[in-house]
Amino acid sequence: MTCWIIAGATSAIAIQFAHITAKRGDQLILLARDQPKLIAIQNDLRVRFHCDVNYLLLDAEKFSDHAEVVKKCMTIAKHPISLLLIIITSVMSVR
């Protein structure tokens, strides 16, 4: 088994990846900044796949929080850790 830490966990790609890994029985730690979405995804994964899934709030732009989130992930993880980063950027045009 593996513990997947999925950063950007509320994106569609990350959710599909979470489904694939949860179906295999892997442990998941979801990271994102939208708590209501994280809770909904966590509940859905638990119901569908009966998997071990946790979430932590992470705003990737708040670099001062990164070390604490890493420590929490290390505490939660019960299996060797793998990491998936989903980076979504918004592009604004300037006229």
For residue range 35-63, what is the model confidence (pLDDT) as tens digits? 999 999 999 999 999 999 999 999 988 98
> What is the DSSP-derived secondary structure letter of residue 35?
H
Structure confidence at residue 89 (pLDDT): 53
Q: What percent of the chain lies above the pLDDT cut of 90?
A: 81
Percent with pLDDT over 70 in the chain: 89
How far apart are the two ends of the chain, measured CA to CA in Å?
51
CA 20, 54, 14 angle in degrees (round to 5)? 35
CA distance 33 to 38: 8
| DSSP 8-state class, residue 46 | H
pLDDT score, position 61: 86
Q: How confident is the model at residue 32 (pLDDT cuts 50, 70, 90)?
A: very high
Q: Nearest to residue 1, comparing CAs of 54, 80, 84? A: 80
pTM greater than 0.85: yes
- Where residue 87 falls among pLDDT bands split at 50, 70, 90? low
Q: How far is CA 95 from CA 10, 16, 40, in A?
A: 31, 36, 38
